[in-house]
Amino acid sequence: MGWWVLAAAAIVSAAPPTTPPPTPPSTVPAPSTSPADPLGCDAVVFDPAGELDRVPVEDAAARAAAALGADVRVRAEGALDTGLDQRMAQLEAQCPAWTSGGERAGDLVVVMYSSAEREASVFYGADQGGALESRWEDAVDVMTERLRVADYTEAVTRALLELRLAGQDPDFTSPFTSDDGASGGVPPIIWLGLIVLVVGAVARAVRYARTGGSDTGEDDGSGWSGRSSRRSWGSWSRSRSSGRRSFSSRRSSSTSSRRRGRSGGGTKRW
């Protein structure tokens, strides 16, 4: 039996060595923090728990940054000892690039939420005040709608789209505005038109009754005449045009005032 043992040992020793299969490249997203940056101050997308799909979020952040001319940051926070307002204050105190001259950096825009604290925030610097002062709450509302169903990536990308559109036109109509009030109903402009028609018909009927069927356009003592009506319409038109110019002037003044802007934003619970 000894020669069988020797033959088996010779076969084993002659077999080519086996090599382990190559390790596939890692698909784990790049970490949001590093030992040198534990708060993720320099991260465009801070997401230590991996709640977000980084590719669409980074793309949406880049588009918003380009439209606003801003430094846009996205943060998916975890459990906090305090809320997002205090977290923002901490980041401003400890992240050098987030402040300038002791104030929030003028071009900074932060979209932030915490699934543990059930809060969502948008904060912005003074340079973004003109575009975002009247729109940041809409972005937070859009975000919270999706956060309630744990659709974190969609929540953030929708908020970033709101901000991007605000950068292109602060008076834009949100693509996410609810139509509940109008569904199945008549648009307000139609109701207004119907009211005008009814009022006009009633006025004409009253005039017809008072003139006994005569509609010469002369004043019949009722204070209504075709000529005076036409003159009044002309005066009203001129007055309305003047009012429109006045409104446009006020709006331009208001717009340039908003352009100067100030830092702002805030937090809502969901």
Q: What is the pLDDT of residues 166-189, one digit of tens each?
A: 888 766 677 775 444 333 344 556
From residue 48, alpha-carbon distances to 76, 108, 149 in Å are 8, 21, 20
* Domains delineated in the chain: 45-172+260-269 (3.10.310.50)
DSSP string, 82-127: S-HHHHHHHHHHH-GGGEETTEE-TTEEEEEEETTTTEEEEEE-GG
Asked whether the predicted pLDDT for residue 218 surpasses 70, the reply is no
| Amino acid, res. 43 | A
Higher per-residue pLDDT: 131 or 172: 131
Each residue's pLDDT tens digit, 248-264: 333 333 333 335 468 99
Instruction: Tell me which of 253 and 190 has the higher pLDDT.
Output: 190
At a CB cut-off of 8 Å and minimum separation 6, what does 220 contact? 207, 210, 211, 214
What values do phi and psi take at 124, rounded to 5?
A: -150, 155
